[in-house]
Every structure is written in structure tokens, then in C-alpha cells.
Structure 1
């Protein structure tokens, strides 16, 4: 007998095929609510569930799941939507999908960085409107990326991948992390144990830390004021790290030259004031959105479930 699992979201076709091969899988062409997940888990005596970040697995949800559920695998590297203590109390394993989305998330960080520095949104708008107006040598000037100092907050897998890409542009890397990296991973980057001490040196700042109580609104009026004038801000981490009202003030005042954002405080109903600012380049939380990476994330989630249901410790267990 195959183990019973749920994929209560619209998974990539290749992931659906693999799920059906390895499990008795129930799949969907839409994202289910947590109430629907609970009801189906009871009906089908589900043993494993794959979820996505918009499906908040709170204590209340976990308490209502049937005893048949042994593992919940989030198809994401972030896990702030999962209540780990509640799952641990019930003996339900939780897993995420690190590693497989590192490269593509770092790629989109560079996409945002380049477009923010080089006024990509404005140039695109000019071309879409038909151009027709010649610009002088003092018009529509961006910032040179090569040689800039890039500050990275959160030097985990993704932060390190961003640093590797930035080195290709001759950028100087500085970083703040909970702990200093060993020399072979640091690769000549300069470590700051204090975030506020690093900020005055950041011509470009990239957020690559998880969303936690500790990091909530770490970008605010006070920390933005510590950045050099005309600096650039990039966020591919979590919207919760940023007080967006403070960010908008810094963009309007000219304190920041530009920002590149893939994540927002409220998704998908993000603050529309951001789209009215000419110096903000926006993408709709698409860091991992490539065919290869979304397949790899789904495969990794299924591997974690398979390991758990075989009585093994999943490779990406969160507790």
C-alpha cells in the first residue's frame, strides 16, 4: 500500500507526476484553505502533507489534524508559517526545502540590484511609451554597480550566493550574520557582528535573513538613517524585515537612490504606494520561480515526506 499524502496547492506537473508514482497522492489545481486541508486529512487518513507559505499551519490547525498525519513538508526555504513547537508537541515532523532554491533566489537579488541601480523600471517605461525624446548626457543617470560596497544581512546559503555573484562585478563584500563564517566561506568578505555598525559602509544593502521575531522591522527609520546617502536597498528575504512606511519615506526623501523588492509586508495585497515611486523595481515574490527550481523544491518536499514515512529522520527536519 502506498502512503496517503495531500498536495493542497497547484504543484508543477512534474511534481504531481512524481507524487502519484511514489504515493497515493491527492492533488489539486488550486490552493486549498487550511480548513479544507484539515477536512481532507481526516477524510483520507492522510499521512503526509505538502504546503506552501500562504497556508499558515498554526497551533490551531495542528491541533485539529488527525493522528494519521506524521509529517508536513513546506515547499519553501522559509518556515515562519509553520508553528514548530505545536507540531513537535504532537510528534508531527516539519521540513523545508533549503539548498535547491539558493541559486535562483540569488539570481533575482542581482536582477533587482542591477535594475535598481540602473533605473531599469524607468527605462522600461520610456521604451513602452515609445521613447521619441533624446536624452542628454546628464539625463536619467543610474549608479555604477561595479566596485560598489555590498552589505549583506544574513550570510547563509543565499547570502553567500549573492556575494559570489557580486564578486563578478568587482564589488567589495561586507556582511552581518549571527556568527562569523569560516575563512573558506567568507572568501575575503569583512564581518560585522553589529548590524548598525555595518550600515554606514553599505552603498548597497541586501537582506537575506529569515523572518523571525528578532528580525521583524530591522529596517526602520533609525537603521535607514545609518545608510550612506544615495544608497540602494534590496530585499529578497521576507517583507516582515522591513517597516515599509519608513522605506517609502527614505525613497521619497532621496535618502535612498532606489530599492529592488521581491517581498512585501502584505502579500499579495502589497502597499500600492510603492508602485507609484519611480525609483522602486518590483517583482511579485518570484525568487524561486523557475521551472527547474520549482520542480526541485517539490521533489525535495516529497523526499522529506518519504523519509519520514519510512521512519527515518528527514534530511531537512525542522525539529
Structure 2
């Protein structure tokens, strides 16, 4: 395996990678050079300088991983990577403490006017009375976003004796109580906070989250701090609010345009500006390099990385529970694609029983899609790109949950519709994968090897005729299962056979009296 390190990272990360791969360090590589050489690498590590564009990704047939030794992936075309089945990983935990500490530093700088006092002394003045500050103790801090960094800021703010309000739709009441914070809506947070700090990603929903309307809600003495991403705060609106005295001050480590050349904010005294250094500590850069190196090692050694941005990640306990059902999901997907005539247009997946209580079934659906799509496409399909490829092919995928699971602890139910017919199958795991229902007919068979699924009229002699026809072609039946709802009605028979069944033999069976259809399925052992 070969890894390209395209931006400077800590040497300890490189040392970890060299245990499993050939590492090429080229931290001055140009875009043109990258386009030419990326074809020879299995992984690339970048920070913020190198842009991994769609053009680069399309030129990288070997590439399996794009790693960002940091948090943001603005310089990586994640959509293009996902389409190609390339994992995009980062190191979010590496900067949590570092950015939280920088936030606290900016908070103190604003509260005690440290930036102005420093400038005054260096210019030969001694203006003690001019720099009257305020304590953080007993002030109210509003935290927008309670992820890794926001949570670390809260811990430090509590040690300063601050009261904390948080706005985050994903935080639970239990977590809030444990941390001693109050959950409020954004409007209440803006109105009540003495200091506001932002810790959310930049998305279409959070762009200009703080603009004229929100700034007008704040106290005229309030401070706002942004160490998250430029563009969350409307800088023009912020300048006007600061210039007109509608808020007390601001501190920014990130900007809409970096560097912020010509920004009117540069002229204001009630704003503290730093050059996107929130994550710039020796410890954070070391940890980021080691984290992404270990993630790449996991992939190269056949493991599952923890910080994949374009694939669901499971905690160890959940993975242990789901692991046998991942095997079952793979079998079910392979079965339905072979059993369903025509192009599959609709896939309905229902998780029943204990599986319905697990919040992370997405890995199972991805596994099913991967098994359905791989046999019919020339492009590689994996857990990363399976949902996107299904969508591009016009396949409608629906997930559902059902607490009832009959006689089983858990069930996976697939209902498939194509342009030529329908097919349904139900499976469970009892020490091994089991198919327990096909097209609503009960069966009990292990999904492996060569299987024949026949639809026929349940009349005397029909099963015998099918067996005789197979015998004529020296095809031995190992196991037979029959499912029916009523005597003399339609039935389903599943046969396990020891030899591959030619299509000509299947055609002969279809010509038999009272046989409606038969398909051959080949599953791995």
C-alpha cells in the first residue's frame, strides 16, 4: 500500500504509517502534480492547503481513503469521493480541547480588553482606567452547538462560575442535566446570554445563522465568538452591529474569506481577530496525525475506521450485535437480485423485533444494496457509495421498523419491485443465517450454495416431476423445503442442489405442467 502525505503533518503520524505502507511525503505538491501522481496511491493525507477535487478523485483508480489531519473537509469533494466508494476520514477529537481553550482565550481577551491593553502598553501608554473589564463569574454563556468542542467549552466555562444556556436540537435532557446546562431555543439564548460562542458546522442551514435579526436580539453589552467556520456569522451585519454599539464586542478566528483582506472589521477596536489558529497547537497537530494514521492502518489491515464521514460508524457493542445480521443482509441482497426478474425499482427494508430498537440499521441497508448492485454493475460498489449509486439508478429505497417479529427475536424483511415482477423474503439469525419466508410462504433454509426457488401448483406429482427432470440431467438434490398456504393452491419450493443448473434445464422445468416459474440462486458459503 502507498500513502501520499500532501501537507505537513507530525512525524509521529508518518512513523505509524510506515509500519504498514510505503509513505511518500510531498508537502509542496501542486495541483497538476497531484493529478499526475495520485493514480499510484491508495491513500492521501491532507490538511487545508491541498484541494482534493473531483478531478483529482477521478484520476485516482487505486484510492481508498482521503484523510484530513484535522476537522473540516471543505477542501475535499466528499460527494465525488462517495460516488467512487472512497472513504473520507478526519480527526475531530484531536482539536476539541485546543479549540475550546482558544475560545476561552478569546472570551477572556474580550472580557478584560487584553488586546487593547497590550497595544496601549507597547505604544508607551499606561491607561489603567481605560481598560475596565468584567468578570466571567456569574455571567451567562450561550453555547450554540454541543458537540465535542462545545462540550469542552462548557466544562471550562463552568469552572469559571458561568451559567450556561445551550441550543442544540440533538442534545438530550439527560445529557444537559449531567452537564448542568439549560436547553433553550436560539431566540432565548440570544436574548439572555452575556457571551455567545458558536460550535456548529457550516451547512446550508447554518450559513448566516447569525445576521441582523439575531444580532438585534442580543444585549447591547453582549460578546459573540466564532471559532467554528466562516460564514456562520454574517460579517457585514456583525460590523454594523459593532460599529453602531448594538452589541459589546466580538472575537473571530474564522472568516468568510481567509485572509479577510479589506474587511471593515479590521478597523474596529471592539473585535479580536486571530488567523484561524483555533486548532494550531503542537498537541492537536500531533494527535491529528496519529489519529488519521491509525485510521488508515485499520483500513489497510481489514478493520473499520471510526471517523468516516461518508459511512455510518458503529460503537463496538452495537457492531457486536449487528455483525451476524450484516452477514444475513449480504445473503438477502444477493438472493433478491438473483430472484427478482427485471430491473429493481423499489426496495423496501423492514427491521423487526430487537433490530427495530437499534438506531443504526443503516449499515445493514448499505450491505443489502451493495449485494444487490455489485453483480449488475461494472463500477465497484461498497458500503460508502451504495446508497448514492442506488439513487442514481432510480432505485427507491425505503426503511421501516416493526416491533413485532413473530417467533423470532429479530427479522429482516425485504420487499422488492421491478419492472417485471415482485419478490419478498424474510430472514433471521439463529446461530446461523436463516431464510424463514419467501413470497409469504414459510420455509426454513440456510442461504448458501446453489438454490432453486420454484413456484408451482400444489398438486400430486408436481414435485416429483421437478425432481425427475433434475435427475435426468444428473443434478442431485441435497435439501428440499416446501411452503404452502392451502392444499392444491400455489406453493413455493426451495431446493438445494450439488451442481450448477444450466439455464436450459430451468427452461425445461418451466415447461412442466403446473410449474409457474423457477430461478437458480448461487450464494457464497
Aligned counterparts, 1:77-116, within 5 A: 77-116=71-110
1:250–1:256 contact (8 Å) kept in structure 2: yes
Cα distance change, pair 53–214 in 1 and its aligned pair in 2 (3 A): farther
Aligned counterparts, 1:83-232, within 5 A: 83-131=77-125, 133-136=126-129, 139-184=130-175, 186=177, 187-192=179-184, 194-232=185-223
* TM-score, scaled to structure 1: 0.90
2:120–2:127 contact (8 Å) kept in structure 1: no
Rounded Cα–Cα distance in structure 1 between residues aligned with 2:97 and 2:15: 25
Length, aligned pairs only: 309
Corresponding position: 1:23 with 2:21: yes
Rounded Cα–Cα distance in structure 2 between residues aligned with 1:74 and 1:201: 37
Alpha-carbon deviation of 1:270?
4.6
For 1:211-250, what per-residue CA distance to the aligned partner results, in whole angstroms no more than 9, with x for missing partners?
1111111111111111111100111100121111111111
Structure 1 stretches of 4+ with a deviation exceeding 6 A read none
Rounded Cα–Cα distance in structure 1 between residues aligned with 2:146 and 2:101: 15
2:7–2:49 contact (8 Å) kept in structure 1: no
Corresponding residue number in structure 2 for 1:46: 41
Aligned CA RMSD, in angstroms, stands at 1.9
Rounded Cα–Cα distance in structure 2 between residues aligned with 1:185 and 1:161: 13
Structure showing greater radius of gyration is 2
1:41–1:66 contact (8 Å) kept in structure 2: yes
Cα distance change, pair 120–134 in 1 and its aligned pair in 2 (3 A): closer
For 1:177-224, what per-residue CA distance to the aligned partner results, in whole angstroms no more than 9, with x for missing partners?
1223352454121102x3223211111000011111111111111111
Corresponding position: 1:264 with 2:255: yes
1:264–1:270 contact (8 Å) kept in structure 2: no
For 1:164-188, what per-residue CA distance to the aligned partner results, in whole angstroms no more than 9, with x for missing partners?
0000111000011122335245412
Rounded Cα–Cα distance in structure 2 between residues aligned with 1:183 and 1:216: 29
Rounded Cα–Cα distance in structure 2 between residues aligned with 1:86 and 1:274: 36
Corresponding residue number in structure 2 for 1:8: 6
Corresponding position: 1:310 with 2:305: no
For 1:24-48, what per-residue CA distance to the aligned partner results, in whole angstroms no more than 9, with x for missing partners?
1111343x44443222212xx1000
Higher strand share: 2
2:143–2:166 contact (8 Å) kept in structure 1: yes
Alpha-carbon deviation of 1:271?
4.7
* TM-score, scaled to structure 2: 0.56
Q: Any stretches of 5+ residues in structure 1 without a counterpart?
A: none
Corresponding residue number in structure 2 for 1:299: 290
1:48–1:71 contact (8 Å) kept in structure 2: yes
Corresponding position: 1:249 with 2:246: no
Q: Any stretches of 5+ residues in structure 2 without a counterpart?
A: 312-525
Between 1 and 2, higher relative CO (CA 8 Å, sep ≥ 6) is seen in: 1
Rounded Cα–Cα distance in structure 1 between residues aligned with 2:181 and 2:33: 48
